[in-house]
Amino acid sequence: MILVAVVSIVLAVIFSSETFIKPKFKSTAIVYPSNLVPYSTESPTEQMLQLLESDDIRDELIDDFQLFQHYDIDTTAKFPLSILYAMMSENIKVDKTKFESVEITVWDTNPLIASQMVDSVLSIMHKKARSMQREKSGEVVVILKNQLDLKKAEMDSMELALLEIRTKYGILDYDGQIKSFTKTYYNEMASGRVGAGGNRPLDKVMDNLLTKGGEYISLKEHLWRARGAYNDYKISYENALKDLSKELTYSNLVTKPVPAEKKSYPVRSLLIIMFTGAMLLLSLIIIVIFENTKRIESNRLL
C-alpha cells in the first residue's frame, strides 16, 4: 500500500503538470443591472442574464478573439462549431447570485485574455441593450412624428377656417365684439336706426355674429385644445429623440475583472489527493479479492 501511494503521488504529479494539463486562469466580474427597461414580468437581473446569454455576444466573442485558433479547433473537422460552443460553455459562465447581481466568470490559459473576455462580454452586452432600446425609441419617434404632423395639419386647417371668418365676416374677437357691439346695436335699435330697412351695416354685422359666432367659438376652443395636444406631442417627441441619442451603460460594476496572478485550474494538490486515494482504494479492493480467493483455495485444498 505504501508503494502504491508513493507511485500514485509521483504519477499524479507528472500527469497534472503543464505538459499534460494546460493551466487555466480565472477572471471574474460582478455587476448589477441598470437602465434596463423590462419587456414583460422579468426582473432587471433576469433581463441582463438573457442579454448576456444571447447568440450575438457569443458570435462577437468568437470573431474578436479568434476563438477557433485560440482553442486550437480544426475548422475542417466534423462539427467544429459544436466543439467551439461546448468549449465556450465550459470556459465562460454567467450566473445569478443570491444578491440579485450577475457574476461573469471566464477561464483561459492566458490570464490577460480571460480578463479581456469578461470586459468584452460586458461591452457587447451594453451595445446590444443600447441597440434594442434605440430600436424601440426609433419606433416611438416615428409614431410621435406622425401624430405631431397630423395635429399640425389639423391646427392649420382650423387656422384657415378662422382666418376666413375673420376676413369674410369681420369677427376678430367674438367675446369682445359681442359685448361692445350689442350695446351699440340696441341703442341704435331703440332710436329706430336699425332693423326694418334701417342701418344695414349694423344689421349685417349682427347677422354675421349670430350666424358665425358659434362656429368661431367652437373653432377657437378646438384650436386651443389642439395646440395643447400638439405641445404635449412635441415634448414627448423631443424626449424620444433624446432617448434615441443617449449613450447609456446598463450595468454597475461591483467587482472589476483583472488578470489572475496564479492559475485556478487544475488544483494539483486536489488532483494528487484524489488520484492517490483512488489508487489506494483500488489496491485495497484488489488485495481483499486476492486474499479472499487465496483463503477459498486453501479451504478447498484442506
pLDDT at res. 207: 61
pLDDT for 101 beyond 60: yes
Confirm if 212 and 169 have CB atoms less than 8 A apart: yes
Say what the pTM is: 0.64
Instruction: Report, as an integer, the average pLDDT of 252-259.
Output: 85
Comparing 221 with 118, the larger pLDDT belongs to 118
- Which among 91-95, 179-183, 264-268 has the top mean pLDDT? 91-95
Reported as a single tens digit per residue, the pLDDT across 197-220 is 555 655 566 666 656 666 767 778
Among residues 234, 48, 26, the alpha carbon closest in space to that of 128 is found at 48
Residues 254 and 12: their CA atoms lie apart, in Å, by 38
Average pLDDT over residues 90-101: 89
The domain segmentation of the chain, as residue ranges, is 22-136+248-275, 137-244
Give per-residue pLDDT as tens, 256-268: 888 877 776 555 6
Q: Are 24 and 263 spatial neighbours (Cβ–Cβ below 8 Å)?
A: yes
Closest CA to 120 of 200, 68, 64, 66: 64
Section 114-141 average pLDDT: 88
Least confident of 16-20, 39-43, 236-240: 16-20
* Burial of 111 (C-beta count, 10 Å sphere; 0-12/13-18/19+): buried
Considering the four listed CATH numbers 3.90.1150.10, 3.30.1890.10, 3.40.1000.10, 3.40.80.10, the one that applies to the domain covering 22-136+248-275 is 3.30.1890.10
**What is the band of 53 on the pLDDT scale with cuts at 50, 70, 90?**
confident
Q: Classify 170 as helix, strand or coil.
A: coil
Q: Looking at the predicted structure, is the pLDDT value of residue 190 above 60?
A: no
For residue 241, the surrounding DSSP H or E stretch is helix 200-245
Kindly tell me if the per-residue pLDDT of 279 is higher than 70. Answer: yes
CB 45 within 8 A of CB 101: yes
| Omega cis (within 30) before 266 | yes
Which of 132-141, 162-171, 183-192, 251-260 bottoms out in mean pLDDT, i.e. has the lowest? 183-192
Q: Which residue do the cell numbers 494546460 mark?
A: 22
